[in-house]
Structure 1
Amino acid sequence: MTSVLTGVSDELDPRLLEHRRELTGYCYRMLGSSFDADDAVQETLVRAWKSLADFEGRSSLRSWLYRIATNVCLDQLSGRQRRALPMDLSGSSWSPVEASLAAKRPAEAWVEPVLDRQVLPEDGDPAERAVARESVRLAFVAALQHLPPRQRAVLLLRDVLRWRADEVAGLLETTVASVNSALQRARATLAAMGGTPEPRPLDADSRELLARYLDAFERYDVDAFVALLHEDATQHMPPFEMWLGGAADIGTWMLGPGSACRGSRLLQTEANGCPAFAQYRLRGDGVHVPWALHVLEIDGDRVRHITSFLDLDTGLFVRLGMPAVLEPRPEAATS
């Protein structure tokens, strides 16, 4: 992908670049795609850079950038079908057999992952950071895609970014009454879909669980791995439509169609406000190559849900800034 900032990035006013991360988070929530969000932010910054001399300061620079970003996102969403997650498409789980892989959709059909470091503030008020983290959770981002684009913008600006109704009305060039009406409808839609999850910060027990998860997966001890899951745990694997229901079926899959993952290595990271692991599968020459980004939902002392975003020639890892390969560990090279 060629950045639209190529050739002009060195000339951009540093004041514009200060807002890149929060704008990326906003565009990601609007679009459901980290890559589309990057494009939208790049387009926003280019438009702002070209118009900066005419910016009269009648609003703050931040508000002006959000106005541009909103218009860019609304343009991108025009005529598009909503992105989804596999569990949104089917009410019942699939059998853990290879034939379930027959149903597959293109990358643009799915909600995509985003690394926390790309969209979440590094510091600031803990309560605001908790809200920001929850607002990039996959379930919430997928639910947002059910809202009409302008309702989506209103809800994000009011409930996530905490803008006043008159500020949102000014940005969208509408009335406060229209903003309040759109917000009520958006909230009602999300509430009917189950609302949003409560913040669950990682504690010492969660960190121990993640260490055991990594160890069991890398040793490919399926019994130990399954023991870390809730009995009714679920897993889905975009771009495939299938999803698995129950720890037993997840274990069956790992020993069956997923058995080629034996010998993988994991790198721990954080994505969509949750703990995540980047999985690298072993290649014949001893090098590990990108395979899947696993985003985990932890509930109590076990894993409740796994979303495994497969990197099937999509360049997902590289585009997220993850290593393109993992070289053999020193002990492996010398053994």
Structure 2
Amino acid sequence: MLRTIWNALCRAIAWIGVRILLCGPVPQHIAIIMDGNRRFADRAGIDRKSGHGFGYDSLIQTLELCLDLGVRYVTVYAFSIDNFARSQEEVSALMELMREKLDLLVSNEGLATAKGIRVCVLGDLTLLPEDVRASANRAMAATKHNSITVLNICVAYTSTQEIVNATREAVKEALGLSSSKSGGSQLTNENDGRNSLKTLDSQITKESIERHLYTAGSPWPDVLIRTSGETRLSNFMLWQACHSHLAFCNVLWPNFSFRHLFWIIFQYQKSYRSLQHHWIKAQSFWIILQYQRSNRSLQHHWHKAQSFQTRQKFG
């Protein structure tokens, strides 16, 4: 009886809190480093797989809150490439749990199906076991037409690997290369490939690299949250989070709740004008830089044309 009353009271407080936050600017993209599952398990005296299971429950609760707030994109750091260095037993348990939860998420009773969430699994998926990779592909295929909210799940991921991969793909695009069936690259246009080094500098831009990031199609995160009290980004969204509001929360991820999310978004709203100011300055810098680069190119071509006309005139 008391538990029922307590749960009803918590729901009422959350409902009021959501209405308060909706009076201000709400972040459209929230990124989360879900840290603390193992410490939660150790302190609770349970196995670590169960600790990660409680972490999944916290993710579902947080997703529901984000849906209530109208957040359009949520990106979570689920498994780093560096995590493969953990014990084989723990990695196997995590992979099994990931497969189970991905299937559950997009099942008929799952949150993604019920709430119209599109699931995108991002990272070097070739590093995952075949059954987990198959579950990831099923989840993405089953939800590809959902449009209420996008859930980006980063697995077998590090930001540096993402940037290297995006740069490599941008260079291939600029050189007129495409991946062959054998896994290598081949020229799609012989002349472009032969003359590419002369124009590569102008073709490899911030925009060309961003087109090939795993998160292409999602806006940059407005807020990046890390739980467990750690104050580092751990190789997560280093490119995309350069203007994000950073929130380091001193709570283990399975204990993350509405009060923590409320306070983080409230702090984001307080600093919103300052964040917008820095964002506009950054955008202006890139516009000016692109203009200067194109202006130098135009001046070069102008001088060449002038020299040619002079030679024609005086023989």
TM-score interval for Structure 1 and Structure 2 normalised by the shorter chain: under 0.3
Q: Which has the higher contact order (CA 8 A, sep 6+)?
A: 2
Name the one with the larger helix percent: 2
Relative to the length of structure 2, the TM-score reads 0.27
